[in-house]
Amino acid sequence: MAGRGAGGAGGGGAGQGYEVPPGLQELLIEFTVAVLVERPSDLLAYASEYFLRLHQERGKARPLPGALHPHQDDEEEDDEDDDEPMPEPPLNRFSRRKSVFAEAYDPEEDDDEGERIIHAKSDEQRQRLSESVKTIFLFRSLDQDQMSEVLDAMFERVVTDGEYVIKQGDDGDNFYVIESGVYNIFVKGDHDPEPIPVGKYDNAGSFGELALMYNLPRAATIQAVSSGSLWAMDRNTFRRILLKSACRKRKMYECLLESVPMLKTLEKYERMNLADALVTKVYDDGDRIIMQGDVGDGMFFVEDGTVRVTMTKDDNQEKEISRVTVGGYFGELALVTKKARAASVFAVGKTKVAFLDVEAFERLLGPCMDLMKRNIEDYENELLRIFGSKANISDIR
Report yes or no: 231 and 165 within 8 Å, Cβ to Cβ.
no
The answer to whether 208 contacts ligand 1OR (rule: CB under 6 A) is yes
Least distance in Å: CB of 209 to ligand 1OR? 5
List the one residue from 89, 332, 353, 368 that touches ligand 1OR (CB under 6 A): 332
SS3 call for 279: strand
List the one residue from 150, 246, 266, 383 that touches ligand 1OR (CB under 6 A): 383
Residues 6+ apart with CB under 8 A from 356: 274, 277, 278, 279, 298, 299, 300, 301, 364, 365
Q: Half-sphere exposure of 190 toward its Cβ, with a 13 Å CA cutoff?
A: 0
The answer to whether 33 contacts ligand 1OR (rule: CB under 6 A) is no
Nearer of residues 2 and 89 to ligand 1OR, judged by Cβ: 2
Taking CB under 6 A as the binding criterion, the range among 89-97, 99-107, 122-130, 336-344 that sits at the site for ligand 1OR is: 336-344
The C-alpha atoms of residue 215 and residue 213 are separated, in whole angstroms, by 6
The answer to whether 230 contacts ligand 1OR (rule: CB under 6 A) is no
* Residue 304, amino acid: D
Nearer of residues 5 and 121 to ligand 1OR, judged by Cβ: 5
The C-alpha atoms of residue 61 and residue 50 are separated, in whole angstroms, by 17
Biggest CA pair distance of the chain: 74
The C-alpha atoms of residue 362 and residue 369 are separated, in whole angstroms, by 9
Per-residue contact string for residues 114-143; x = within reach of ligand 1OR by CB under 6 A: ------------------------------
The answer to whether 342 contacts ligand 1OR (rule: CB under 6 A) is yes
Nearer of residues 263 and 342 to ligand 1OR, judged by Cβ: 342
Report helix angle 43-54 to 24-38, nearest 10.
Answer: 130
Within positions 169 to 188, which residues make up the interface with ligand 1OR, using CB under 6 A?
172, 185, 187
Cα dihedral value 194, 199, 205, 210, nearest 10: -50
The answer to whether 234 contacts ligand 1OR (rule: CB under 6 A) is no
Instruction: Give the residue among 171, 162, 152, 267 at the shortest CA–CA distance from 210.
Output: 171
The answer to whether 311 contacts ligand 1OR (rule: CB under 6 A) is yes
The C-alpha atoms of residue 268 and residue 152 are separated, in whole angstroms, by 34
The answer to whether 290 contacts ligand 1OR (rule: CB under 6 A) is yes
The C-alpha atoms of residue 113 and residue 145 are separated, in whole angstroms, by 14
The answer to whether 353 contacts ligand 1OR (rule: CB under 6 A) is no
Taking CB under 6 A as the binding criterion, the range among 40-48, 231-239, 359-367, 378-386 that sits at the site for ligand 1OR is: 378-386
Q: Which residues in this chain contact ligand 1OR in the complex, by CB under 6 A?
A: 2-3, 9-10, 20, 24-25, 28, 166, 172, 185, 187, 198-199, 207-211, 218-220, 222, 290, 296, 309, 311, 321-322, 330-334, 341-343, 345, 379, 382-383, 386
